[in-house]
Structure formats: C-alpha cells, structure tokens
C-alpha cells in the first residue's frame, strides 16, 4: 500500500490529570518539540479509560489512540486505576486485531508530571509509527464502508464484552510484563475465542447482511474471513433464526 505523501496521522489522547496531563503541560512550557498530531482529553485517572472511548475515537476519524497514565505504583487514587487501564489496553488490542485493525494503533505510556521530555518522545515515536502504518483502514486494506461496519460490530457487543471482562478476565498483576503474558496466554486466547470472537464474527456478518443479501464467498471476501469460519458462523446464525438461506438466489439474508 502506498501511503499518501501528505499523510499526517490524527491521534486522540486520554491523559490522567495528575501525571500525564501535567507532563504534557511541562512539555509545552519547556518548549520541547513534538508533532502536532495529538488532541488531548483530560481525565482524572487513566482508570477511567473505556473500550467505548477507543471505538469512538477510531470511528470519528482518528488514526490512533494514546493513553497516558501515572507510573504503576504511583496512582493518586486508592484503586490504582492505571492497572485497569492496562487491562483495557490489552483487551482493546485483541478486539481490534480480531476485526483486522492493527493493534499498534492504540498505545499506553506512563508519564509523570516531571517528564515533559518523555511526553514529547513517546508522542513523536507513536506519530512516526502511525505514519508508517498509514491512514486507519487504508493501512489495513479495509475500505471505509467495511471499516465502519467492523467498528459498529464491536460497538454492538460492548455491553456483553464488558460483562465478560468483569466476570472472567479482570486481573491485577504487578507489572506490564505480567499483563502481556496473561493476555497472550493459551488459556486467555481460548476464553476470548469461545466467549467473544464467535459473537464478534456473527455481529460483522449480520451487519453486512443488513445492507443486502450475500453469498458465503462474498461475505468472506468482504470481511477478510476464512470461508470455513463464515460457513460455521452462518450455520450458527441459521439455527438461531438470525439469517435464512435464499434457495433461489443462493445467498444468505437476514431472517
């Protein structure tokens, strides 16, 4: 894919009030230079970060999402919300990857109030990485209509995904490495596939069929899914009477 020469990524940043936002403020008063790619939303704590924020940011034309929080062990709140932000980060990355969006488009960094130079460095690094990836969707080879369909499919499942996260996934470790190891573990991947991935695939298919009826091959090609997976999901949806097969047209349609 050829990246447009004039492409400059748009990044929406969510910064905790006490550390990262203060670090960004110090960065400005110290006149440290970084690309004008970041638009900031201040939150009292990075633990306020929500999966819905990520989806809205990407759906509204941003190419990446940046989360800035206090260093682990230095949160200003008893609940230490930056640990929750880590869980949101990893779950968001898994969801994006499942719908074909590069998970590198979301990034979490710890920046203290005294680290204005670090803030400039991580924003510059993230901007350069997104510049290499290209515009959201185009960089993944997804057309705008399909990108919207995929993000909408995740959004429809958010209440259920949050329930699964609260009941079966929420954990507390001491460092970033333990979180990464947990979210990449075979046990977590199996849980994710059985509780979320199947429903996410069906949500995408139903969204596509909402436009018009389509063949199994057309669904697979549009969503970039293996045809075997589409076939299995269509069987599941047929049993639940969500879709029907049109014998005359040899296509699937909403029931």
Digit-coded pLDDT (tens) for 120-158: 999 999 999 999 999 999 999 999 999 999 999 999 999
Q: Write the pLDDT tens digit of every residue in 182-193.
A: 999 999 999 999
In the CATH scheme, what is the code of domain 144-254? 1.10.10
Contact 41, 15 (CB under 8 A): yes
pLDDT at 228 over 80: yes
Question: How much is the pLDDT for 3?
Answer: 73
Q: Which residues contact 166 (CB under 8 A, 6 or more apart)?
A: none
d(CA 56, CA 65): 10
The pLDDT value recorded for residue 63 is 98
Percent of the chain with pLDDT over 90: 93
Tell me: pLDDT of 2 over 70.
Answer: no
**CA–CA distances in Å: residue 167 to residues 39, 132, 246:** 33, 37, 39
> What whole-number distance in Å separates Cα of residue 45 and Cα of residue 245?
49
Residue 17 has a CB neighbour count (10 Å cut-off) of: 16
Judged by average pLDDT, the poorest of 38-47, 123-132, 170-179 is 170-179
- Determine the pLDDT at residue 5: 77
Tell me the three state secondary structure of residue 121.
Answer: helix
Q: What is the per-residue pLDDT across 53-107, written as a single tens digit (0 to 9) for each?
A: 999 999 999 999 999 999 998 998 988 999 999 999 999 999 999 999 999 999 9
| pLDDT value at residue 82 | 93
Fold of the domain built from segment(s) 11-133: Rossmann fold (3.40.50)
Buried residues in 164-190 as b, exposed as e (16+ CB within 10 A): bbeeebeeeeeeeeebeebbeeeebee
Distance, in Å, from the CA atom of 103 to the CA atom of 93, rounded to the nearest integer, reads: 5
223: pLDDT strictly greater than 90: yes
Q: Where in the chain is the domain with CATH 3.40.50?
A: 11-133
Helical spans, DSSP H, in 167-215: 176-183, 186-192, 198-211
């Amino acid at each position: 894919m050829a990246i447009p020469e004039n492409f400059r990524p748009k990044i929406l940043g969510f910064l905790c009030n006490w550390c990262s936002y203060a670090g960004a403020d110090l960065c400005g008063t110290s006149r440290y230079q970084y690309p004008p790619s970041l638009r900031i939303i201040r939150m009292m704590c990075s633990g306020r970060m929500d999966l819905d924020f990520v989806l809205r940011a990407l759906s509204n034309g941003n190419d990446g999402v940046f989360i800035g929080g206090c260093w682990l062990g230095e949160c200003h709140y008893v609940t230490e919300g930056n640990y929750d932000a880590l869980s949101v980060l990893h779950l968001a990355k898994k969801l994006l990857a499942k719908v074909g969006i590069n998970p590198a488009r979301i990034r979490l960094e710890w920046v203290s109030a005294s680290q204005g130079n670090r803030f400039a460095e991580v924003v510059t690094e993230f901007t350069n990485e997104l510049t290499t990836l290209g515009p959201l969707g185009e960089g993944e080879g997804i057309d705008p209509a399909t990108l919207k369909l995929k993000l909408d499919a995740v959004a429809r499942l958010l209440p259920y995904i949050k329930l699964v996260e609260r009941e079966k996934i929420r954990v507390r470790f001491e460092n970033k490495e333990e979180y990464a190891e947990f979210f990449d573990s075979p046990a977590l991947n199996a849980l994710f596939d059985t509780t979320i991935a199947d429903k996410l695939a069906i949500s995408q298919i139903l969204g596509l069929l909402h436009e018009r009826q389509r063949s199994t091959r057309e669904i697979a090609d549009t969503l970039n899914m293996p045809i075997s997976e589409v076939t299995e999901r269509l069987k599941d949806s047929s049993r639940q009477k969500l879709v029907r097969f049109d014998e005359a047209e040899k296509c699937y349609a909403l029931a």
